[in-house]
Chain A
Amino acid sequence: MSRDEKIEQLKARMTAMRSEVHVVPKGDRNAPWTNQLKTILAEKGLKQMLYAPGTAVGDAVEAAWAAGDAGLPALKAYDAPVETFKETLFSMDAGITGTMGGIADTGALVLWPDEKEPRLMSLVPEVHIAVLDADHIHETFSEAMEKCDWAARMPTNALLISGPSKTADIELVLAFGVHGPKEMVVLILV
């Protein structure tokens, strides 16, 4: 599978499961991908967005927000253990994270939360925005495991996420946003 085919398959699969997927050029210093992010977010009317300082995505967002555009959610860093941060965490309406990679054949993102980017960033806020480098899309889950040698270096928590939270427990009617995020926005950087 070529890079473009993997992007297409991942996009199609995740869109089918109600994710909003944007393929965005990485851009350069003058026109970075965060410009597109701003456009996407400005329409959503979000108030506060959780981000992870010190990560590639977090730093890019922080730099882009420095300009102080109107209509964007205020940034909030996950900067304390959950015990003292819970109240803030549960009041966030968005969270932006990076990803370890993507899986094309099932349509899923791989996340390895860590010190900088804690586990709950992708679960508790109402909207999860995930940024994926198109070069890190694998064809299958098995391939992702092999290429990145998961067995030798499992993190405390590894996640596959394929869309917003959903349930079909009532009459098998598929409904989105039951306990986790109601919306999932994916930016595939090319």
Chain B
Amino acid sequence: MTETQFNFQANVRKALANRQLRANLTFAMGSMIAKRKVIFSDVAAFEALRAQGNAIRRRALLQLPELLERLEKKCIENGMSVHWAETTDEANRIVLDILRNHHATRLVKGKSMVSEEMHLNRFLADHGIESLETDLGEFIIQLDGETPSHIIVPAIHKNKQEIARTFHEKIPGTPYTEVVEELNAIARKTLRRKFYEGEVGLSGVNMAVAETGTLCLVENEGNGRMCTTVPPVHIAVMGLEKVVEKLSDVPPLLRLLTGSATGQLITTYVNMITGPRKPGEKDGPREIHLILLDNGRSRILSDEKLRQTLQCIRCGTCLNHCPVYTRLGGHAYGFIYPGPIGEILTPQMEGLDKAGAIITASTLCNACEEVCPVKIPIPDLIRRLRNESYDPNGSVPGHGFKRTLAEAAAWKAWALVNRHRGLNAIVTKMASVFGPVLPRIGPLGAWTRARTRPGFAKKSLHDRAREKGIKDA
């Protein structure tokens, strides 16, 4: 979905009408919520761990520029190359240059949301390079030409019948099978060959440690380790907020991440990369390139309140717990990051005028804030961005895009009516007479399409108080 085609209302209607999608999501989200609950069953311990996670992330963001410099210095000392990209275009160019320097035409990719943010696959395809997703979920959606609908389980919107059809149609010589183990085996066989032949591997980064210059990657499948170990060149792309200060910050965040993301005590693999192959070592990449992507993050950092958006460790649990996400799935949100975290992150990156519509996709029920492992006050930030949408003096790009003269005038009138007792009495009276017969068109029509129209009382509270003999103050 490109920005110009983005029509949130239409996306919502389409998603809600898709019964299969809703069934797939209801089942999956319920199951993920239950799994997480088991891991964090000790509430006191979980709260203590959350407080620790929050403190680690806040401490990192408070000294982010310094930490990034320390990370760069350490990584270079360790033998890596470090690249800075202000925009996704720049980041894509850097990846392409590295590939061209090695005359590489094929890239094997581990799961990375930042690479999705860059639309890297499309960019590389335009430049004649095969960029192959190797995480099973990403592999499935790449075959279907889709983007992830969830940041942790990208193909969660599909059931096994849909995946069976995709494999049968898109992978030559594959018989139709709905047996999950067999589907996994098909992916294993297809991708093993690709790892074997891989020229350059690309991955994301779950956290980078400034103290030691270490890139931490967590995964269950082993494709990430394949991509970062078998090919002679490894490129890691990372949002610049993902740095932590110390190595000792890793274990608590890791516990929060895997518990929140998949309800696991730990993933199958925690892969900590501190340098390329040393002389004498027989495997591991000969070159490691770390690309630090800004794409609006430093601007987000400069606002003390909105900065909390960058505490995110991309566990996806706010998606699982969101009553809106559970009914829509990720694609309706139109951009890479869906659900509650997407609602606060995307408009800040893309601009409110482009992506601001998705901030309405919240009931402000607070579930996301309650489960967030690093305590991001998501509903608060949604309110702030909703205000920015109407504020001509806001600070977020695209602020004030929803402001209309008619609405501004209506609120001015509202304020006036509520400041003058006589005027208020007249208008209240009019509302009780004309309110019930207002035609359901325009904003009222839209509002009442799925809601009951509020009734106006025949008598105002003032009148009733007066009848009881209570005197005006």
Report A's interface with B, CB cutoff 8 A: 13, 17, 78, 80-83, 85-86, 90, 103, 105-108, 113-115, 118-120, 123, 140-142, 145-146, 150-151, 154-173, 175, 177-181
Contacts and interface: CB of A to CB of B under 8 A. Distances in A.
B280 interface: yes
B387 interface: no
Contacts of B222: 123, 165, 178-181
B184 A170 contact: yes
B223 A142 contact: no
B268 A114 contact: no
A175 B269 CA distance: 15
19 contacts: A108-B270, A123-B222, A156-B273, A159-B269, A159-B271, A160-B266, A160-B270, A162-B266, A162-B268, A165-B220, A165-B268, A166-B220, A167-B221, A169-B155, A170-B160, A171-B24, A172-B32, A177-B188, A179-B223
Nearest to B161: A171
Contact of A81 (B188, B246, B282): B282
A154 B213 CA distance: 9
Nearest to A154: B274
B232 interface: yes
B276 interface: yes
A20 B210 CA distance: 37
Contacts of A168: 153, 220, 262
Residue among A86, A159, A160, A166 facing the most chain B CB atoms (10 A cut-off): A160
B226 A123 contact: yes
Interface of B: 24, 27-28, 31-32, 78, 134-137, 140, 153-156, 159-160, 163, 180-181, 183-184, 187-188, 191-192, 195-196, 211-212, 214, 220-223, 225-226, 229-230, 232, 246-248, 250-252, 254-255, 262, 265-278, 280-284
A120 B134 CA distance: 17
Nearest to B28: A172
Contacts of A78: 282
Contacts, number: 180
Contact of A141 (B28, B78, B254, B277): B254
B435 to A, nearest CB: 49
A166 B273 contact: no
User: Which 5 pairs from chain A and chain B are nearest by CB?
Assistant: A180-B222, A169-B137, A160-B270, A82-B283, A106-B266
A178 B221 CA distance: 6
A151 B180 contact: no
Contacts of B282: 78, 80-82, 85, 115, 118
